[in-house]
Amino acid sequence: MKITLNGKKIKCEEEQTILQVAKKQGIKIPTLCYSERFHPKSVCRVCLVEVNGKMMPSCSTKVKERMVIDTESQRVLKARKINTELLISEHKEHLTQTKKHELCVLAKDVGVRQTRFSTIGKIHNPNEGIGIARDDNKCILCGKCIQACEMQNVNAIDFAYRSYHTKITPAFEGRIDDSVCIHCGQCILACPVNAIYEKDSIKDVEKALKNKHVFVQTAPAVRASLGEEFGLEPGTLVTGKMVSALRKLGFKEVFDTQFGADLTIMEEATELVERVKKNKNLPMITSCCPAWIKYIEHFYPELLNHVSTCKSPHEMFGAVLKNYYIENSRIKKKNAVVVSIMPCTAKKFEAQRKELNKDVDYVLTTRELARMIKNHRINFNNLKEDNFDAPLGISSGAATLFGATGGVTEAALRTAYELETGKDLEILEFNQIRGLKNVKEGNIMINGHDLTFVVVNGLHYAKELLEQIKKGECKYDFIEVMSCPGGCIGGGGQPIPTTKEIIKKRMQALYVNDENKIIRRSYENPAIKLLYKEYLGRPLSEKAEELLHTKYTKRGI
């Protein structure tokens, strides 16, 4: 179809929004409440354009034959400016913020340096939860956090009141920790003004660094994204520089959560094989995503017996370190502090679960680590590459995959196959469960049993499967659920922005990392072998059950 865009006649496809068409034409229209992930709500009114003489939101208005669109008329510019001024009037601090967010950029783009409207000064107390916190003083009510929460089928927050008194809050203005919030942090990634953020643990960690023996472990997804905070291209692997930075920050020993991931695979694959043999509690569902665990505890507690009893990798790591590793060293347990660097805000919540005995003391997100590095004025990009310490820094390629959706399944299958058949899998890549599709399924013949599995990419798609299990109609043996789209690489603790394109690049980096590893199966990891030989015996042994497995809480809604 043909339309006129800023005086130019152009051809475009049907069923596209004005925003999409303009973008293709290289015309920039500012947006604020728009996100590629959600259905447009068109409430911020800054992406307005003139369509046949009428002001229309470009994010939700679709092009029509012979439409005449002006994206930069005086009327449009004036409207954008006033609406931005209105948004800023209650939040003047947004203009002077050092960390630039979407609203700062918007203000600059539309030429707003100050606002002519007075400030009433609504004052709210920040609602601080264990994993995430929100500060309504910064909130501009765009509603994207609500959309993110709705997308997860959690609905912990919603709008309340109306008019100027509108606010976003858990029910009855309760605390985040009293709500069904699963701390996944997707709302943080959605927020254009940093009104939602991780509960800060930097201070605690800095304090520990001064007078304790601090161990650090880093999740697979962090090495694929941390570079973005220092201006590197998304998908740049910065493992070596990250290790160097951690040493410079004062961490005594730098380990890898991937060691924990390999251990998880040993336990989880064994558990799966056992359950299949006994045909009990199938399908088995993965347990490494703490947001997912909290979700099922709230919304489907009756299905908790399906969840693997394995602790998540960093918690397994913590347990091994605080018991096995410390016992063999001269460090006193009370002086040992374990810090996890995670792409995740839910891990902060997980770390304080009573049943996990504080094996991990503090969790820092990717963003927090970047902030620490910047606070210490470390020139990240100029750092020399360094290696993880042994033995808890040794890991397989399979463990790397944990960072991406489908990775846990792929890693588990590599080991489950060996456990059952005694043979190594020849083709390691399970391409049908890679990538960003929402639900990915497959099957593999193991000793005559047709093992079926499904990968859920994003919590939104878990509900249907859970309902199937409830009705006894679920046909799978194994289900992997990762709450965040793309898996941990799209986690709520990752650098902002985290878009689909960026997630793809981070994912690719992990796949390359796996391919480049010499050891690609968890059971081949020598450090793991040694751990079982010296300490645990075998997977699911009494000692393993005690240290590496956990139980869950029925929470309800």
Partner 1 sequence: MSSDEIGMIIDEVIKGPDGKPLLLPLLYKIQEKFGYISKNTAHEIAKKTKIPFSTIYGVITFYDMLYTEPKGKHIIRICNSPSCYLNNLVTLIKFLELLLNIKSGQTTKDKKISLEIVSCLGCCDKSPAMMINDQVYGNLNEHKIKKIISRLR
Partner 2 sequence: MKILRKTRFNGLRKAMQMSPEEIKEKIKKSELKGRGGSNFPTGEKIEMTMSREGVKKYIICNADEGEPGTFKDRFILKKNPLNVIEGMLIAARAINSEEGYIYLRGQYSYLKPNIEKAIQAAKKAMKKINITFNFHIIIGGGAYVCGDETAIIESIEGKRGNPRIKPPFPSRKGLFAMPTLVDNVETLANLPLIFTDKNWNDNWRLFCISGDVRKPGVYELPLGIPLKKAIQMARPKNKIKAIYFGCYGGCIPYDENLILDCEPIRKKGAMLASSLILVDETRNILDISAIISKFFEFESCGQCTPCREGNIRVLELLQKISLGKAKRKDLKLLEELCGVIGDTSLCGLGQSSVNHIMKEFKYFKNEFQEKLK
The structure tokens 């040493």 sit at: 247
Q: What is the nearest approach in angstroms of partner 1 to the Cβ of residue 170?
A: 6
Interacting partner of 55 out of partner 1, partner 2, none (Cβ under 5 to 8 A depending on kind): partner 2
- For residue 190, the surrounding DSSP H or E stretch is helix 186-190
Q: Using an 8 Å Cβ cutoff, are 490 and 436 in contact?
A: no
The three-state secondary structure class of 52 is coil
When computed from its CA atoms, the radius of gyration of the chain, rounded to whole angstroms, is: 25
Query: Does residue 160 bind partner 1 (CB under 8 A)?
Result: yes
Query: Does residue 43 bind partner 1 (CB under 8 A)?
Result: no
Q: How far apart are CA 364 and CA 351, in angstroms?
A: 11
Q: What is the nearest approach in angstroms of partner 1 to the Cβ of residue 463?
A: 11
Interacting partner of 537 out of partner 2, partner 1, none (Cβ under 5 to 8 A depending on kind): none
Q: Considering only 85-93, 273-281, 446-454, 488-496, which stretch makes contact with partner 2 by CB under 8 A?
A: 85-93
Q: List C-alpha distances in Å: 117 to 85, 106, 166, 290.
A: 8, 18, 19, 44
Nearer to partner 1, 169 or 194 (CB): 169
The structure tokens 């959309």 sit at: 147
Most distant CA pair in the chain, distance: 78
Q: What are the DSSP E strand ranges found in 458-539?
A: 478-482
Query: Does residue 162 bind partner 2 (CB under 8 A)?
Result: yes
Q: DSSP letter string over 376-434? A: TT--GGGPPP--PPSSTT---HHHHGGGSTTHHHHHHHHHHHHHHHSS--S----GGG-
Query: Does residue 43 bind partner 2 (CB under 8 A)?
Result: yes
Query: Does residue 172 bind partner 1 (CB under 8 A)?
Result: yes
What's the residue count for the chain?
557
385 an active-site residue? no
Query: Does residue 164 bind partner 2 (CB under 8 A)?
Result: yes
Among 67, 180, 209, 488, binds partner 1 (CB under 8 A): 180
Nearer to partner 1, 93 or 178 (CB): 178
310 an active-site residue? no
Among 18, 21, 29, 44, binds partner 2 (CB under 8 A): 44
Q: What are the DSSP E strand ranges found in 413-535?
A: 439-446, 449-457, 478-482
Nearer to partner 2, 48 or 180 (CB): 48
308 an active-site residue? yes
Among 58, 147, 179, 522, binds partner 1 (CB under 8 A): 179
Q: Using an 8 Å Cβ cutoff, are 487 and 403 in contact?
A: yes
H-assigned helices in 250-311 = 257-278, 290-299
Q: How far apart are CA 518 and CA 394, in angstroms?
A: 11
Interacting partner of 518 out of partner 2, partner 1, none (Cβ under 5 to 8 A depending on kind): none
Q: What is the nearest approach in angstroms of partner 2 to the Cβ of residue 466?
A: 24
Query: Does residue 556 bind partner 1 (CB under 8 A)?
Result: yes
327 an active-site residue? no
483 an active-site residue? no
Q: Among residues 102, 228, 267, 350, which one is catalytic? A: 350
Applying CB under 8 A, which residues contact partner 1?
155-162, 169-172, 179-180, 556-557
Residues that are catalytic: 268, 271, 288, 308, 347, 350, 355, 488
